[in-house]
Structure 1
Amino acid sequence: MRKFSLLLIASGVFSLSSFAQDGESYSDKYTTWSAGVDVGLNHFYGDLYGFYPESNIDGRNLGFGASLYATKWFSHLIGVSGNLGINQFQGKRVDAYFTAFDMNAGVDLQVNVSSLINKGSYKESKWSWIPYGGVGLSSSMPRIYDANDNIIVDRTERHNEIIVRGGLLVKYKLNSSWDLDMRYLGTMMVLSDWSDNVESGTAFDGTNHIRIGVTYNFGASDDKPSIVYARPINDLAVTVQELDDKVTAMTTDSDGDGVADAMDKDNETPEGYVVDGSGVAMDVDRDGVADDIDQDPFTPRGAQVDATGREMDDDGDGVPNSRDQEPNSKEGAMVNFQGREIKSGMGGDMANAFLPDVFFGFNSARVTSANEQRLLTIAKIMMANEDVKFEVIGHADPVGSEKYNLNLSERRAQAAVDVLVNTYGISADRFTVTGKGEGAQVGNNNSINRRVEFRLMD
């Protein structure tokens, strides 16, 4: 975490160019010019100074001052400010005091340290902390008075000084155009300690200022704020976080389906489901039921299915609704592949009766619940037509040896007969079990080749 923070600070310092991170110039993205005014109290310290503890003179501790500022920012971090000011200074010692009216001008280099602070947000801050330092010129006419307000020391010409200055400016964003300023300023006379008309040689004269003011940001708006509230480190931190999130998403698979979250369109796929490249559970027949729970994964396109993927068969004749031309066949009626009832007994059209196949899983002879519905159709036919007998023919796909597949196909046929005998009470004498092994393939779809067929016996 510490290395990450240092990286952000280093990146912010490195960005002392005239361009923002996204290539826009600062003048395009932010306002960089402003003007302000402040007022406040002044405290003088020198041979005479405010709050002299042993003075017999009341008051004369603080003066009043006001300044005008014009500021140009070259980046979110560095700006230059020019200023003009007028100040009243006062100070005292045991039995005397002085006053001076001072005019000054200066230029300061400003460093917006708050622009290097990361708060993890895109939004500009409403606060800005700006240390500054510079040089200036001061011109004053100090006079010293005794306790009775008589002039003791007067001057016939102004006292001019070079000063060094520095302090801290705290800004608060009132709205898009206006700022509230709170400023501390300290100055020191460079050439002499004559500013109070007394030169002791022991120390340079200096001043302290506490000010409050306002600043107007030229051209500022909600879409183009003042640059002093810009937080490029925040943007960089968010960018780094977004990249980290993307990397995490590319390496994280929340639902364990083998597709990374970043590309997974369904992050809640049940465990064990087979999915496509987008992380969506496979649905070969596109009936809306995932293959892993689809008990009939080869329903025709657009067919109406139940929650288990089985095609609806309202009259239970074994012919699904999508192909049933007589959707109201009576229970146990023998029908053809179109769902039409066969009425000519055991001859003639009986050979065209529709008899559903039963399908099995790979290397399995277990009858699933989906196939129990198909066997129910066979059972109804046999219970309604007591003379009907069936040859039950088992098949297998070509995977494995011929001998093994022959045995598997026989077991599948026998499993279907066992359900009809044990569940529906059909006599075993009405069935003949045959195994074809892999000798009667239907195309290349092994799911269909793993089946049991029913054929009418004469």
Structure 2
Amino acid sequence: MRHYIPVLIVIFLHAGSSALTAQQIDFYNLEEEQLYNPDRKYNTWSVTAGIGPVIYYTDVNDYTLLPSSHWRFGPSVLVSKQFGRPWSLDAQLLTADMYGEKNTRYFSGNFYDLTLNLNFSINQLVLFGPIRDKLNIFGKLGLGVNYFRSRQRSLETGDWITVGDVHNGTPGYPRPYGWDDTDYLAIGYDRQNPEEKTSRGSEVIVPIGAGIDYRINKNFDVGFELTLRNVTQDNLDVNLTGADNDSYMAALFTLTYKIGKKNKRHSLWTYKDFNLAYQRERQTDPLAQELDSLRRRLDYIAANDSSVTDTTYVYKESVIRRDDLTASVFFEFDKARITAASHKTLAVVARFMKENEDERVLVQGYCDERGSDDYNVKLSQRRCDAVIDVLVNDYGIDRNRFETEPRGETDLLSDTKELAPGGVHMVNRRVDIFLLKDQKTEE
């Protein structure tokens, strides 16, 4: 009967794969926070609470797949650590009461198990990210220990059942090794007095299962997990001499809290950055390195060739040593941090200001349209301040030479609502730097 349970898991995974094929993600229009970068910090810890029915597949049971009565429910708690996008490791505790009946007898008891499980996100491995930014389908495989107490009674009289009660009435039925006919069928209780508790029995278990998570927000997920726990022995129902090892299935409805900073994503809910992957692969590709080396060599020859020297020289000077000044610095979502690429831009601005000491500049800050107007104005001011701080502290430019104008989400360079899905949020998160030449002339 328990052989039907892996079929359920296969059906569950098949349904998940159908959902995977329905995913439609525009990888070219994702936000920075959605793209996984191993150099960036993400939330990786979570704690999950769950509850649901626990169904037993033992020798003393009168059903094949699902019980018609005497359902048992159990709670579960697990702590999980995510490694990159697809993989995580969790430690799980599950506990529940046990019950099963067959013919004239029944067993009852309780257990708790402790397992260590490897989880793998199917959609991360197949589609390189969550489904529609909301769903995650996963499989799990683990190893653990079940600690249980169990004993048998007669359905007709309620009396405790001994080894002799079962085996004397079944000629040729093998007796359990080390048990006397007068011993009561009990584990975790005294064999001569089943009312008295003793040390729990323990068995190794191998959990295998699948589940689905739905992302509510950055802090909480809800989900469902179906796990078959295969026991390596046949003792949960104290039948002791059955043909197959026992197993039990936990069907849990779960609530997950993702531990960490409130403004950060959990790494499970990010997408593979194909551009970053391409750059990293290119760094280790000998052919790509050779091509890059050849390109640099050609650029050097062109820059020093007499037939093109003047043209190349004029072009470079027009970029670096121009009389006018305009520059833009771009920012990550909800951030005012100056990136490495932006430092290169600010170095050009600093060089211009050092060579034109009488000039003053206007620093205008912008945000994309997400967030309240008041918050975006304050964020654009922080971005202006970050640009000025670099120019003052790293390059020694006089702070009095700057004027700031925080403009929030006004004057979007790319209207992502009107131009969807082609609009680009990133170009709206910027600081523009202009020369105040006209204003100076009017003075």
TM over 0.5: no
State the TM-score, normalizing by the size of structure 2: 0.44
Greater relative contact order, per chain length (Cα 8 Å cut-off, separation 6+): 2
- Structure label with greater radius of gyration: 1
